Amino acid sequence: MNKTLEIVALLFIFLCVTAPGNAQNRSSNLNLGLQIVQPLGDFADQYEGVPAGVAGSFSLPVRKSAIEWGIGFAWNSMGSDDRDIIARVNEDNAATQLAKGQLTVRNTSTRYIVHARFRPFNGKIQPYADVFSGLEVFKTKSNITIDDNSYTTELSENRDHLDMTFFVGWAAGVRVRVAPNIFVEGRFESINGGRVKYVDSESVEVNNDNSIDFELRESLTNRAVYQVGVAFGF
């Protein structure tokens, strides 16, 4: 087994050094894309919905080799809730003032990523493979605004929940040059995420003091990610 692993490692190094296009100048890359997320396993059992959002990354080549490294981010919406409410504006011993308002609840996840990339070809069509890891933050924020004589004012803004976890994964993609240094790109990611707590957006209730109550779900956060976008070479 060890001998086989050594052979595979040597073959991988050989491909990195001798891959077609390596003699050409390798450039840094900026990738931007739109993505949708398919929860898997325990995550799919606990969370109902299809998160979607945006992602970006920046990669630098290692000299003229087919290996690149870089950093990236991804932001996904995990559900939102907008509803009309009757908010308490102020309260004293004399009276309680009520006003029509709107409650906005936003559930999001943000991934901060470091990656290594193998991009063997530097021509018009460029397949690649990534391995990556990073930190993911799950956050819920609520905002209450009131309508007062034809204008809107913010009554409160709160961060109601925050949790985070580490993740690892791999990705495969291909990009096609459509103009000098401009590419269209498709990408698939497989993410193994740690156990984390997040808000069940269907359980949100408003209290008399304008705070909110909700239930938490907990699960691993494994998922598949499908992304399309553009890439720029510099």
The per-residue pLDDT for range 109-156, each reduced to its tens digit, is 999 999 999 999 989 999 999 999 999 999 999 888 887 665 556 666
Looking at residue 25, the DSSP 8-state letter turns out to be: P
C-alpha closest to that of 24 among 93, 119, 114: 119
Q: Say how far apart CA 217 and CA 9 lie, in whole Å.
A: 42
Question: Rounded to two decimals, what is the model's pTM?
Answer: 0.82
User: What is the model's pLDDT at position 5?
Assistant: 45
Question: Total domain count for the chain?
Answer: 1
Residue-wise pLDDT for 45-97, tens only, equals 999 889 999 999 999 999 888 999 999 999 999 988 888 877 776 655 555 67
pLDDT band for position 165 (cuts 50, 70, 90) = very high
CATH number for the domain spanning 202: value is 2.40.160.20
User: What is the model's pLDDT at position 1?
Assistant: 47
| CB 135 within 8 Å of CB 126 | no
pLDDT band for position 212 (cuts 50, 70, 90) = confident
Residue-number span of the structural domain to which 209 is assigned: 2-233
User: What is the model's pLDDT at position 146?
Assistant: 80
Print the SS3 string covering 178-207.
Answer: EECCEEEEEEEEEEEECCEEEECHHHCEEC
Phi, psi of 175 (to 5 degrees): -130, 150
| CB 30 within 8 Å of CB 234 | yes
State yes or no: pLDDT of 10 exceeds 70. no
User: What is the model's pLDDT at position 22?
Assistant: 45
Q: Say how far apart CA 136 and CA 213 lie, in whole Å.
A: 24
User: What is the model's pLDDT at position 8?
Assistant: 46
Structure tokens at 50: 């299809």
Average pLDDT over the chain reads 85
Mean pLDDT in residue range 39-50: 94
State yes or no: pLDDT of 21 exceeds 80. no
In this predicted structure, which of 5-9, 40-44, 68-72, 169-173 has the lowest mean pLDDT? Answer: 5-9
